[in-house]
Amino acid sequence: EHAERFEKEVAEANAVASEDVRAALLAAKPDLEAYLAGTKAIVDAGLAGKVSPAQVEAFDALFGKLETSLEKVGDLIEAGATATAKEKESRFAQAALLLLAVIAAAVTLIVSSAWLFARATLQRLGAEPALLREFVARIADGHLDGRFAVHPGAGSVAGGLLRMQNTLADTVRQI
């Protein structure tokens, strides 16, 4: 029963193993078969009460040989697991860099869009909002001779305020 379970586990491992691990398992198979045969022989001798020190020594030698073969298999499995872990780490690092690049591009796009929006809004206003407030406050206080430091476009809010101020000044002069 022990031998059958062991062979089943080796077959299952062989099904999912890499090529080099399968080759190592194949190379270990004669040692496994010799160990299983030695196990059966020593168990049968033990049940019959006829186990000799030479049989125990031979069985120990078979076990040592199998252990060495399986150590090679284990080393290959560990090397494969280490390589897989390194590959996953590398892919994770690549994904993190890609995500950073996407975030940087998105931030650049957002900042550029905000700058373009602010620039377009300022062009429509014709002057800074604080200057527009001061200009309107001066008109409200009766000062109809105000000017802007820069010449605002005709279609801008500042341009409209200048026209309104000029029209209001003309109206006041006529009265």
pLDDT digits (tens, 9 = 90+) for 85-109: 999 999 999 999 999 999 999 999 9
pLDDT, one tens digit per residue, over 110-167 is: 999 999 999 999 999 999 999 999 999 999 999 998 887 777 787 899 999 999 999 9
What does the alpha-carbon distance between residue 66 and residue 33 come to, in Å, rounded to a whole number?
A: 9
Residues 56-73, mean pLDDT to the nearest whole number: 95
In the chain, the amino acid numbered 158 is: A
Question: Treating both helix axes as pointing N-terminal to C-terminal, what angle do 2-16 and 19-48 enclose, rounded to 10 degrees?
Answer: 180
The predicted structure's pLDDT at residue 74: 92
Helix (H) or strand (E) holding 170: helix 157-174
DSSP string, 49-72: T---HHHHHHHHHHHHHHHHHHHH
CB-based contact 132:157 (threshold 8 Å): yes
- What pTM value is reported for the model? 0.56
Q: How far apart are CA 172 and CA 110, in angstroms?
A: 48
CB-based contact 164:131 (threshold 8 Å)? no
